[in-house]
Amino acid sequence: MLKIASWNVNSIRKRISQLCSFIIDNQIDIVLLQEIKCTEEQFPYLEVQELKYEYAIYGQTTRNGVCILSKYPILEKLRINLVEGYHDARYVECVVKYDDYNIRLASVYVPNGNNEFEYKLRFLNKLSERMIQLLKNEEITIVAGDYNIAPDDIDVFDPHLLHDQVCFHINEREKLRTIFNFGFTDAFRISHPDLQQFSWWHYQGNSVRNNHGMRIDHILLSPQAVDKLEACYTYEKLRKLENPSDHAPVICCLSSS
């Protein structure tokens, strides 16, 4: 079985020990990270290499940044600026060789939208175009990350309070729904049709204790990947550690056959 995790780490250098423990304890084969908040030169290569993982990185000074760590060989790496004129390290893609087939993976960090909501919508449009293109390849494809969108009422702690707020605004939810309609599937929701479980909790206001969260981190699968899906779940333990990221990882398991 292949274990793939997506996690907004909120600074990889601050949480490299948490990351390494998470990978080892949970036997994670591939990790897609967001908000690594460092350049390629600042990346903690030593710790990753000690795990014997390969990497594809698109870094940026102090903010944003995405990367993919893989136990298996990485055959191809792509750093893509989806929106023309913006170079803000939000999308990295690679092809991993696993047994006798290839898997295409992308780690994506969608803009939050608090300051530039229109940019967020433009980014989602360009992400949709890229994902449609990927579907045409008919490959096992996974596009995972911090989408900064809770799709449905069940994915937020209070849909009335958060109605048309950023990360739960109807315009961005429609953009995500369009991606679903094109043929990508939300791995968590297909595994748990009626479960309310979140992936992000604010640092303030006892959000974790009161479970005032949102499910904004998603692992989206092509039809070829859905055929291999065994399970998908949120790993809340990391959010409850001392000095945690405000996000919890999402993990999906694919069959090897």
Closest CA to 198 of 238, 248, 124, 255: 248
CB neighbourhood size of 115 (10 A): 9
- CA gap 219, 69 in Å, rounded: 16
Range of the domain at 30: 2-254
Structural domains counted in the chain: 1
Contact 234, 250 (CB under 8 A): yes
> Considering 53, 58, 91, 109, which one is annotated as catalytic?
109
What confidence tens digit (pLDDT) does each residue in 117-173 have? 999 999 999 999 999 999 999 999 999 999 999 999 999 999 999 999 999 999 999
pLDDT for 206-228, tens place per residue? 999 999 999 999 999 999 999 99
For the stretch 57-108, pLDDT in tens is 999 988 899 999 999 999 999 999 999 999 999 999 999 999 888 999 999 9
Q: What is the CATH number of the domain that holds 90?
A: 3.60.10.10
Active-site residue (options: 29, 53, 146, 217): 146
pLDDT above 70 covers a percentage of the chain that reads 100
247 is catalytic: yes
Q: Which of 53, 147, 169, 247 is catalytic?
A: 247
pTM attached to this predicted model:
0.97
Q: Is 109 a catalytic residue?
A: yes
